[in-house]
Chain A
Amino acid sequence: MTPTRNSHFWAKTFSAAAVLATVLLSACGSSSTTAGTSTGSATATPSTLTACTVTAQQLTITAASTTPTAPTATAGLTGTKIAIDGSSALEPLFKQAHVPFDQVNGTVTTTNPNGSGNGLKDVESGAVNIGLSDFFYQQNSATQGFTDLVDHQMAVVAFTLVVSSDIHSTVENLTSDQIKGIYTGTYTNWSQLGGPNETITVINRPLASGTRATFKQYVLGGVTESAGQTLTQDTTGAVATALSTSQGAIGYVATGFVLQPQFATTIFPICIDGYGATAANINSGNYKFWSYEHAYTKGAAQPAEQALINYVLSDTVQSSLVPSLGYLKVSDLTAAAQATHPTP
């Protein structure tokens, strides 16, 4: 190959690259002009967006210690296997609590966080001993026939609506009606609520998520969300990550997430109807976006299952692991709070 031929081909390569670049650019240009832009029409709603402020620090749950003391041994449990499946929100509590329990009693406990629905299904079929769930089994059409399950309420998980950093100073509080409007597609721009002129990016959880079921029941009042516009993120962690890179975004996470240092400047909790997700507001019955964390057994609990449940409900676990993992105690709930979440 001669030098002259080589230079010809370089020239041709560059011209081809130029053609390609032109094609790419023109394609980009045309696709953005065919955009179905949604424009917000500003309505003069009296703004309640800053009527209440809640900070991540106010959601902090203080734990006396992070390690529980070991239980006293229950006789006759050595070698018993305890299989646990279900809610990924409650699984961390059992995952940590079963370690000292197993050491003392010689039991073998395994945990698998496959989701609340699968937990209920597996305990009903006898595949596991304990099924963990974010919701009452009566609340899901696929599990409502499992009437022989026995409920043990282990903890309370509080959830909070969170917004992205660019709107956290202008959107600090939403009413239930505004939230319904956002999640059903009535409001698509923050200016419709008296906020900045930004499209609302709504972030939701997958259809069968236990957290989504809680949100739908206690915040949306059972209204079905709009199908079209919302982003779906697989896990609470993914919701938090998507919020941290989005603008004008709203989503919901367990309160433990807003306390994590990596999200301190990217996601911000807001109030619902003037109340933040604090322990005081939940216990007083004013803040309803929380759920019991249930451990279900098929029929009355067997000795090993009962011993493990009793240990998780004991003072030492309830004052160490429960707060340090971000849960509230069931025993702290007032009658007013319990009245907002009646057993179906």
Chain B
Amino acid sequence: MSDIQQPLASQVAKSNPGRSAGKIFIDYLSHSFFTVMALFFVVILIGVYIFIGSQSYQTFTAIPDVSTIRLSFFDFFVSSKYDGAQNFGSLFFLEGSFSLIVTTMVFAVPFSIFLAIFLAEISPSRLRGPLRGAVELFLGIPSIIFGLIGLLVVVPAIRDILNFFAGGKFFNGFGLIAATVVVTFMILPTITTISVDAIQAVPRDLREGSLALGATRWQTITRTVLPGALPGILTGVILGIARALGETVAVAFVIGGAFHAPIGLTNFYPYIYLGPTSVMTTDLLFNFKEAVPPSTLYNTLWTMCFVLLVFSGILVGISRAISSRRIYA
């Protein structure tokens, strides 16, 4: 594909002397229009980074006065002491987002890869169409619907299960577990559909070769098809991570929004805190609307924005690096 050069309008004009001047003009016009649009897009992207970056930097450079205090990097990124007035240690927001990604991936990745293998390789063709349709329908459900179902079904269910094991009314159900359940279901179809495409893109010759050499169908799937589809599957996983990182509305319904780290540490072992906690996006959602500049809260929210932006940029970079690799050249 890439080794075929598309002829430029000027070359077409030379080689096709019969073309009218008007058509060539439109050709030139559209060519420059699309170029400008593409450049415009890049300019906007750079602008977003510069704008949010400069806003976020104020957290560390603000001149202290009645409404603003200046924070050090240590105060903001390493501390978890937060009260929204004097202390803005935001480490636990980062911990929250990363814990949510890890717990979500633990459930979503195996499940969606199994589902993808079933859809692409095992499922009888009669079942394949409807199942694929169901997964894609799932993909289109707006996140607020996941949030409402989470609030009205998942949270009470988790509360009752935890209270049953704890033997009393100790839990309210909000927190990391509820968020994990909701986000797992949200990103399942993302990873599944991309994985199905990746598995189906593995050349048929390879499967037939494997089967002809005497491999069972399971051996063919695990040792020939899955390795070939791995870059595609990993791209799906990275996009799933990006969605888990950026998901706001559905998580805000069920995470609880407390200023509490999701991972605790006893003297001997770390444990998952089962009460309400926070992630970066819910902090922004809850507090940005009424935060007024100039204030430290307002500055730190921009810093959080920038952290989110950088992480999502890194994830996109990783997914591009992975998807450009080919196992079977």
Question: Does B98 lie at the interface of the complex (its beta carbon under 8 Å from any beta carbon of A)?
Answer: no
**Is B289 in contact with A142, judged by CB distance below 8 angstroms?**
no
A-B contact pairs, 27 of them (CB 8 A): A8-B216, A9-B122, A9-B217, A20-B110, A20-B114, A31-B177, A36-B271, A36-B275, A37-B166, A117-B290, A117-B292, A141-B66, A145-B66, A198-B168, A198-B169, A199-B171, A207-B84, A208-B291, A228-B258, A228-B259, A228-B260, A231-B172, A231-B258, A232-B257, A232-B276, A232-B286, A241-B151
Residues of A within 8 A of B138 (CB): none
Specify the chain A residue showing the minimal Cβ separation from B298: A142
Question: Does B238 lie at the interface of the complex (its beta carbon under 8 Å from any beta carbon of A)?
Answer: no
**Is B292 in contact with A208, judged by CB distance below 8 angstroms?**
yes
How many CB-defined contacts (below 8 Å) exist between A and B? 149
Question: Does A68 lie at the interface of the complex (its beta carbon under 8 Å from any beta carbon of B)?
Answer: no
Query: How many A residues touch the partner, as a band?
Result: 35 or more
Question: Does B145 lie at the interface of the complex (its beta carbon under 8 Å from any beta carbon of A)?
Answer: no
**Is A208 in contact with B290, judged by CB distance below 8 angstroms?**
yes
Question: Does A209 lie at the interface of the complex (its beta carbon under 8 Å from any beta carbon of B)?
Answer: yes
Cα distance A87–B165 when bound, in Å?
Answer: 44
Question: Does B236 lie at the interface of the complex (its beta carbon under 8 Å from any beta carbon of A)?
Answer: no
Question: Does A265 lie at the interface of the complex (its beta carbon under 8 Å from any beta carbon of B)?
Answer: no
User: 5 shortest A-B CB distances, which residue pairs?
Assistant: A232-B257, A117-B292, A115-B290, A208-B290, A198-B169
Question: Does A224 lie at the interface of the complex (its beta carbon under 8 Å from any beta carbon of B)?
Answer: yes
Given contacts A201-B172, A224-B85, contact A231 B256 (CB under 8 A): yes
Given contacts A13-B122, A227-B83, contact A245 B162 (CB under 8 A): no
Question: Does B134 lie at the interface of the complex (its beta carbon under 8 Å from any beta carbon of A)?
Answer: no
**Is B294 in contact with A116, judged by CB distance below 8 angstroms?**
no
**Contacts beyond the supplied A20-B114, A142-B293: 18 A-B pairs with Cβ under 8 Å:** A13-B122, A31-B272, A32-B274, A35-B166, A37-B166, A39-B170, A140-B292, A209-B290, A227-B84, A229-B258, A233-B257, A234-B252, A234-B286, A234-B289, A241-B151, A242-B151, A248-B169, A248-B172
Query: How many B residues touch the partner, as a band?
Result: 35 or more
Cα distance A231–B174 when bound, in Å?
Answer: 8
**Is A230 in contact with B293, judged by CB distance below 8 angstroms?**
no
A-binding residues in B (CB < 8 A): 66-67, 82-85, 106-107, 110-111, 114, 118, 122, 151-152, 155-156, 159, 161-162, 165-166, 168-174, 177, 216-218, 252, 256-260, 264, 269, 271-276, 278, 285-287, 289-295, 297-298
Specify the chain B residue showing the minimal Cβ separation from A27: B106
**In residues 1-43 of chain A, which contact B (Cβ within 8 Å)?**
5, 8-9, 12-13, 16, 20, 23-24, 27-28, 31-39
Residues of A within 8 A of B159 (CB): 246-247
Residues of B within 8 A of A116 (CB): 290
Q: By CB atoms of chain B within 10 A, which of A115, A144, A206 has the most?
A: A206
Residues of B within 8 A of A209 (CB): 290
Cα distance A115–B287 when bound, in Å?
Answer: 11
**Is B272 in contact with A24, judged by CB distance below 8 angstroms?**
no
